[in-house]
């Protein structure tokens, strides 16, 4: 028997087919296209994504044969928001986590001293990514859509509605909305009041293992299915990436650096940070995922290569040459520090107005210095979140690294030197989809607990830090950490200029 796991991301959607041993033997995927007509806007067409999900289901079912399918399980990106009418038709394009139009509503909550209370109750830092802030923006700036909306949902909820004509949301996706009471696992009334809605405007809460089997007749016909197959709700891509990498306790931290980045642990404690630097989202079985997401990972290097150096980012031989040039520069780039907030930033500063900048630039700095400074800047950003995690969870012992960064030995070594920790490479492919497949097994009763996901933990290679380089980086990191506080008001002033 096979499991079909579908991961709905903001850059691409993917379907993997595994056996009951969770070994992947087939993948289907397609790239999603963001709609970005203006700076700060980031939308997607929900109907188009649903069509592609149906295509991947058709491909997967045809590949497996329906008699060989044990279940379908889903993963999806967090923080999306879609308003639909009474028929379930979208009234707008879906807003992704990267849409920043609600920034001033997030900032207003900060000024009214409501952010701390909201964070303590929901585990979600107040930021434009949050559906809570998006709802406040929609209510005030798109009132016609807000009034017409029958439901406010995420992309995964939209897909389940199109499949089953039911509005249901798993605890994990709901936990990232800023609307869920993270301790009692119910909708949080104070947040609903701020958003101007009641529970009736939201989906029914369900565990991540919940599944449905009665597809709409039209969908069943489209997929050419003759028998009932469980469709498991699954969870958020971040939570499932931890499970799919085997990170199931607070001793291990998963660090992913791709286009963006993330630093996450799995814990049986509801861990919040006094400085509101970290998120804490419920998963299941009394477990939470705690950490921080970064806007600026590999995208910072891509910006430098494409916009400044005017070269192709996908040219692997050229990239290798750039990494080699950077490796020839001393740690600290001879006094040059890059603050990598070119897309604003989420953790640990949660500031949509944050800007990227070079500090310490002199006539002695070359292209190689600038490249190394950008690589170091991303490592500083990761270490900044890691340090916040360590301040709140003293149990972290091992770092497992994944994402595009693992293609560069130079960049991996920089992260080890900056953090001062051994880096274990985790090459688990499609971790979020694999985590979804695991939840499929749990829904079917084939595994007892989320802790069984430790089967995925792997260490392909260990990279040790240089003690001498780490001592140098400690001094630079101290300067890096002070920069945002010094420049925060400047960033705000720049954002207000025409």
The fold adopted by the segment(s) 2-239 is Nucleotidyltransferase; domain 5 (3.30.420)
Q: Indicate whether 426 pLDDT > 90.
A: no
Single pTM value for the model: 0.93
CA distance 409 to 412: 5
Alpha carbon distance 326, 18 (integer Å): 40
The CATH 3.30.420.40 domain(s) of the chain lie at 2-239, 247-427+466-498
Nearest by Cα to 178 from 350, 371, 395: 350
Mean residue pLDDT of the chain comes to 95
What b/e string do you get for 319-344 counting C-beta neighbours within 10 Å, with b at 16 or more?
A: beebbebbbebebbbebbbbbbbbbb
Q: What is the rounded distance in angstroms from the CA atom of residue 302 to the CA atom of residue 289?
A: 29
pLDDT at 489: 97
Residue 295 predicted with pLDDT over 80 = yes
Smallest CA-to-CA distance from 456 within 254, 257, 250 is with 254
* Mean pLDDT value across residues 316-332: 95
pLDDT at 429: 66
pLDDT of residue 435: 95
Q: For residue 12, list its beta bridge partners.
A: 31
**How many other CB atoms are there within 10 angstroms of residue 85's CB atom?**
13
Please, how many CA atoms are within 13 Å of residue 53, restricted to the half-sphere of its CB? 24
What pLDDT does 243 receive? 95
Rounded to 5°, angle at Cα 427 from 423 and 429: 145
pLDDT of 362 higher than 90: yes
| Region 12-33 average pLDDT | 93
Q: What is the pLDDT of residue 314?
A: 83
Within 10 angstroms of residue 232's Cβ, the number of other Cβ atoms is 25
Q: What is the mean pLDDT of residues 401-421?
A: 94
Which among 421, 346, 348, 432 has a CA at the least distance from the CA of 389? 348
CB 389 within 8 A of CB 253: yes
Strands 261-267 and 288-294: antiparallel
Contact 370, 359 (CB under 8 A): no
Mean pLDDT for 173-183 is 97
- Residue 434 gets which letter from DSSP? H
Q: What is the chain's alpha carbon radius of gyration, rounded to the nearest angstrom?
A: 22
| pLDDT value of residue 460 | 79
Beta bridge partners of 257: 261
Q: List C-alpha distances in Å: 66 to 51, 60, 161, 179.
A: 20, 9, 22, 38
∠ CA(443), CA(447), CA(448), 5° rounding? 95
Quote the CA–CA distance of 33 and 374 in Å, as a whole number: 27
Count of all residues that appear for the chain in the document: 498
Instruction: For domain 247-427+466-498, give its CATH number from 3.40.50.620, 3.30.420.40, 3.40.50.970, 3.40.50.300.
Output: 3.30.420.40
Q: How many CB atoms lie within 10 A of CB 355?
A: 17
Q: Is 277 helix (H, G, I), strand (E, B) or coil?
A: coil
Compute the distance between CA of residue 266 and CA of residue 248 in angstroms, rounded to an integer: 5
Beta strand residue intervals within 326-454, DSSP E: 337-339, 357-359, 398-402, 423-425
The helix/strand/coil state of 95 is strand
Whole-angstrom distance, CA of residue 494 vs CA of residue 488: 10
pLDDT in tens, 363-374: 999 999 999 999
Q: How far apart are CA 467 and CA 117, in angstroms?
A: 41
Please check the confidence at residue 417 and state whether its pLDDT lies above 70: yes
């Amino acid at each position: 028997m096979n499991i079909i796991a579908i991961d709905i991301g903001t850059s691409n959607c993917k379907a993997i087919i595994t056996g009951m041993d969770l070994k992947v033997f087939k993948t289907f995927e397609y790239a999603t296209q963001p709609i970005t007509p203006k700076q700060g806007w980031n939308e997607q067409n929900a109907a188009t994504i649903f069509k592609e999900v149906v295509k991947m289901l058709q491909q997967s079912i045809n590949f497996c044969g329906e008699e060989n399918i044990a279940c379908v399980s889903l993963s999806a990106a967090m923080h999306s928001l879609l308003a639909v009418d009474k028929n379930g038709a979208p009234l707008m394009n879906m807003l992704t986590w990267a849409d920043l139009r609600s920034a001033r509503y997030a900032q207003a909550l900060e000024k009214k001293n409501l952010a701390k209370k909201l964070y303590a109750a929901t585990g979600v830092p107040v930021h434009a990514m949050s559906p809570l802030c998006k709802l406040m923006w929609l209510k005030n700036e798109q009132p016609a859509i807000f009034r017409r909306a029958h439901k406010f949902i995420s992309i995964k909820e939209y897909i389940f509605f199109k499949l089953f004509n039911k509005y249901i949301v798993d605890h994990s996706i709901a936990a990232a909305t800023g609307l869920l009471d993270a301790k009692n696992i119910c909708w949080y009334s104070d947040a609903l009041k701020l958003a101007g809605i009641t529970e009736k405007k939201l989906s029914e809460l369900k565990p991540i293992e919940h599944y449905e089997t009665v597809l709409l007749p039209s969908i069943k016909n489209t997929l050419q299915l003759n028998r009932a197959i469980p469709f498991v709700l699954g969870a958020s891509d971040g939570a499932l990436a931890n499970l799919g990498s085997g990170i199931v306790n607070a001793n291990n931290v998963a660090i992913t650096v791709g286009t963006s980045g993330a630093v996450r642990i799995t814990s049986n404690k509801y861990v919040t940070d006094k400085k509101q630097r970290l998120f804490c989202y419920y998963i299941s079985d009394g477990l939470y995922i705690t950490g921080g997401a970064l806007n600026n990972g590999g995208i910072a290097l891509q910006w430098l290569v494409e916009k400044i150096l005017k070269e192709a980012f996908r040219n692997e031989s050229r990239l290798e040459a750039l990494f080699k040039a950077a490796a020839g520069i001393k740690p600290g780039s001879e006094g040059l520090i890059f603050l990598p907030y070119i897309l604003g930033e989420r953790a640990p500063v949660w500031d949509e107005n944050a800007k990227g900048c070079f500090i310490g630039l002199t006539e002695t700095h070359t292209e190689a210095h600038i490249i190394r400074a950008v690589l170091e800047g991303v490592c500083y950003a990761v270490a900044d979140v890691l340090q916040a995690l360590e301040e709140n969870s003293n149990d972290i012992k091992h770092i497992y690294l994944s994402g595009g960064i693992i293609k560069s030995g130079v960049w991996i070594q920089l992260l080890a030197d900056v953090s001062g920790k051994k880096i274990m490479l985790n090459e688990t492919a499609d971790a979020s989809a694999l985590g979804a497949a695991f939840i499929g097994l749990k829904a079917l009763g084939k595994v007892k607990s989320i802790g069984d996901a430790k089967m995925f933990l792997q260490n392909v290679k260990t990279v040790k830090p240089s003690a001498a380089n780490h001592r140098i980086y400690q001094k630079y990191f101290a300067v890096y950490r002070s920069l945002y506080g010094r420049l925060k008001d400047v960033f705000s002033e720049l954002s207000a200029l025409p």
